[in-house]
């Protein structure tokens, strides 16, 4: 998708900054820097690393002004601006057979139905892209501006199969693009959404081994099971993984991991926690996940949280005097959260009751905490959590807002359930800090 050219608009200028010294003001439009039409945040960051900068501005009154600046390399100008291209990301041009957005019910907020596929958001916000809406010049731009790392949804390196899975005739060039990017030094994190009977088995092994040829610029490959809601009428028929098929995936990937780890010292490819939970198998140890670079994909979340709690619990000392808390969690992580809660209960003399919430909204096959809705929380917790403090994971809420997927706010949920609600980040320290703070506030009343 092409965009009509728009100038970047300055929204704020830091006090005592270089920009303020040279008379740059809010509402100034940046026409060009060093003769280059700056398209977005990334180009701005790249170009302004120079020592000598010439900025062509359109002032609020319409006058055109040029500012020549001398500064230290990489010194920040102190400009904040509205980026029309980041604010209007590229829409996804695929019709993936496994797309979760296509499985949403009608009537949810509009932003949930927007599919982005934008390399800039991959770099700035960690979003995954498919590379299908990119031309050769877009790939060259990533290389030119060193947009690294980027996150790519690969799914398969088999060109014909990828075209089928993404329903996009351009999808088959992924291996070509990945080789061009990695040969130029761009770091790439890869994701595979695994669909039973489609890109698993021999196809999965082919994909992993193709990606491994690009190590170390590809050093992280996440494999996650396809999510299937109950709203799939008219969509491609997909099968959910079960205990037996999840075990087969684990066994297959473990063989490849062991082989690769013997060569480079890391597993290279890692499976989402859901596979181990479905298979009723012990998760790999903490060290398996290295720096936990794929947490957002659900890779190692349980071991990360467990490790955080075990490390942080020793640094806190308080007596909860029997204070009652509740935690609501997805079905898949219930046993783990219950085990961790028992350790916290014992250490701090509190009582945490953990509630596994069945996802009736999307369907019982969706078992992760991050896709729970206010409606299900209300139906399954009402009358049970009175007199407690309800602790909810922050990944259940819209980014930067206290609103759940079905637009029920945290205040509304608190009122209906008649309980105080606290959002907690997925770190042991944040959970324990929130508990300690609540205990101290309660004891001071």
Tens digit of each residue's pLDDT (9 = 90 or more) over 392-406: 998 898 766 789 988
The angle subtended at Cα 347 by Cα 346 and Cα 353, nearest 5°, is: 45
Write down the pLDDT at residue 196: 96
- Helices 136-144, 174-183: crossing angle, 10 deg rounding: 20
74 pLDDT higher than 80: no
pLDDT bin (cut points 50, 70, 90) of residue 71 is confident
Write down the pLDDT at residue 124: 37
The domain 8-82: what is its CATH number?
A: 2.30.42.10
Q: List pLDDT tens digits, range 235-252.
A: 899 999 999 999 999 999
Domain boundaries, the chain: 8-82, 101-298, 306-444
Alpha-carbon distance of 205 to 203, in angstroms, equals 5
Contact criterion met (CB below 8 Å) for 421 and 414 = yes
Alpha-carbon distance of 350 to 431, in angstroms, equals 13
Q: List pLDDT tens digits, range 91-132.
A: 567 788 888 777 777 665 554 433 444 334 333 344 678 888
Alpha-carbon distance of 263 to 98, in angstroms, equals 34
**Nearest CA-CA partner of 130 in 112, 100, 157, 160:** 157
Lowest mean pLDDT among 47-61, 180-194, 244-258, 410-424: 47-61
Write down the pLDDT at residue 324: 95
pTM greater than the 0.85 cutoff: no
Phi, psi values for residue 30, rounded to 5°: -85, 110
23 pLDDT higher than 60: yes
Contact criterion met (CB below 8 Å) for 52 and 46 = no
Alpha-carbon distance of 333 to 359, in angstroms, equals 13
Q: Count of CB atoms within 10 A of residue 199's CB?
A: 26
* Tokens 């799914």 belong to residue: 155
* Tokens 């608190």 belong to residue: 414
Q: List pLDDT tens digits, range 30-66.
A: 888 888 777 666 677 767 777 888 999 999 888 999 9
Alpha-carbon distance of 306 to 282, in angstroms, equals 14
Alpha-carbon distance of 71 to 78, in angstroms, equals 12
Higher pLDDT, 308 or 204: 204
Write down the pLDDT at residue 400: 65
Q: For residue 190, what are the CA distances in angstroms to 131, 154, 437?
A: 12, 6, 39
Write down the pLDDT at residue 426: 67
CATH class as words, domain 101-298: alpha beta
For domain 306-444, the question of CATH label 3.40.50 is answered with: yes
Query: Sign of the CA dihedral 426, 87, 153, 123?
Result: negative
Query: Sign of the CA dihedral 215, 217, 219, 225?
Result: negative
What does the buried/exposed string (b/e) look like for 319-344 if buried means 16 or more CB atoms within 10 Å of the residue's CB?
Answer: ebeebebbbbbbbbbbebbbebbeeb
Write down the pLDDT at residue 135: 80
279 pLDDT higher than 50: yes
Write down the pLDDT at residue 107: 61
- Tell me the range of 140-144, 145-149, 266-270, 363-367 where mean pLDDT is highest: 266-270
Q: Count of CB atoms within 10 A of residue 48's CB?
A: 21
3-state secondary structure the chain: CCCCCCCEEEEEECCCCHHHHCCCCCCCEEEEECCECCCCHHHHHHHCCCCEEEEEEECCCCCEEEEEEECCCCCCCCEEEECCCCCCCCECCCCCCCCCHHHCCCCCCHHHHCCECCHHHHHHHCCEECCCCCCHHHHHHHHHCCCCCEEEECCCCCHHHHHHHHCCCCHHHHHHHHHHHHHCCCCEEEEEEECCCCCCCHHHHHHHHHHHCCCCCEEEEEEEECCCCCCCCCCCCCCCCCHHHHHHHHHHHHHHHHHHHHHHCCCCEEECHHHHHHCCCCCCCHHHHCCCCCHHHCCCHHHHHHHHHHHHHHHCCCCCCCCEEEEEEEHHHHHHHHHHHHHHHHHHCCEEEEEEECCCCCCCCCCCHHHCCHHHHHHHHCCCCCCCEEEEEHHHECCCCCEECCCCEHHHHHHHHCCEEEEECCCHHHHHHHHHHHHHHHHHC
Rg of the chain's alpha carbons, rounded to an integer? 25
pLDDT bin (cut points 50, 70, 90) of residue 80 is confident
Alpha-carbon distance of 159 to 271, in angstroms, equals 23
Domains 101-298 and 306-444 share a fold: no
């Amino acid at each position: 998708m092409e965009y009509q050219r728009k100038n970047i608009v300055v929204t704020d200028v830091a006090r005592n900054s270089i920009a303020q010294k040279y008379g740059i003001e809010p509402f100034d439009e940046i026409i060009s820097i060093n003769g280059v039409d700056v398209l977005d945040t990334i180009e701005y960051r790249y170009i302004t690393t120079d020592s000598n900068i010439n900025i062509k501005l359109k002032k609020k009154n319409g006058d055109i002004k040029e500012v020549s600046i001398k500064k230290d390399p990489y010194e920040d100008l102190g400009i904040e601006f509205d980026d029309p291209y980041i604010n209007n990301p590229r829409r996804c041009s695929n019709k993936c057979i496994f797309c979760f957005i296509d499985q949403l019910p009608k009537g949810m907020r509009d932003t949930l139905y927007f599919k982005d596929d934008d390399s800039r958001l991959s770099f700035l916000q960690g979003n995954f892209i498919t590379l299908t809406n990119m031309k050769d010049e877009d790939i060259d731009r990533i290389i030119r501006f060193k947009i690294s790392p980027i996150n790519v949804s690969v799914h398969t390196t088999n060109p014909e199969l990828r075209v089928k899975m993404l329903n996009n005739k351009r999808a088959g060039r992924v291996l070509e693009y990945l080789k061009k990017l990695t040969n130029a030094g761009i770091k790439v994190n890869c994701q595979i959404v695994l669909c039973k009977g489609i890109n698993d088995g021999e196809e999965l092994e082919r994909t992993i081994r193709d990606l491994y040829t690009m190590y170390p610029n590809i050093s992280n490959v996440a494999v996650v099971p396809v999510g299937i809601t109950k709203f799939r009428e008219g969509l491609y028929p997909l099968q959910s993984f079960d205990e037996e098929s999840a075990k087969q995936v684990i066994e297959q990937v473990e063989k490849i991991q062991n082989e690769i780890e013997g060569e480079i010292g890391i597993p290279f490819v890692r499976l989402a926690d859901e596979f181990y939970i479905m298979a009723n198998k012990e998760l790999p140890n903490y060290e398996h996940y290295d720096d936990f670079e794929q947490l957002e994909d659900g890779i190692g979340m349980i071991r990360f949280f467990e490790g955080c709690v075990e490390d942080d619990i020793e640094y806190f000392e308080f007596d909860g005097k029997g204070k009652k808390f509740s935690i609501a969690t997805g079905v898949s992580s219930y046993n783990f959260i219950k085990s961790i809660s028992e350790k916290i209960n014992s250490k701090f003399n509190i009582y945490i009751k953990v509630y596994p919430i069945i996802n009736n909204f999307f369907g019982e096959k969706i078992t992760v905490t991050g896709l729970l809705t206010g409606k299900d929380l209300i139906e399954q917790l009402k009358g049970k959590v009175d007199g407690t403090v309800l602790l909810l994971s922050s990944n259940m809420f819209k980014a930067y807002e206290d609103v759940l997927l079905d637009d029920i706010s945290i205040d509304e949920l608190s009122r209906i359930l008649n309980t105080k609600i606290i959002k907690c980040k997925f770190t042991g320290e944040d959970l324990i800090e929130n508990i300690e703070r609540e205990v101290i506030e309660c004891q001071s009343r």
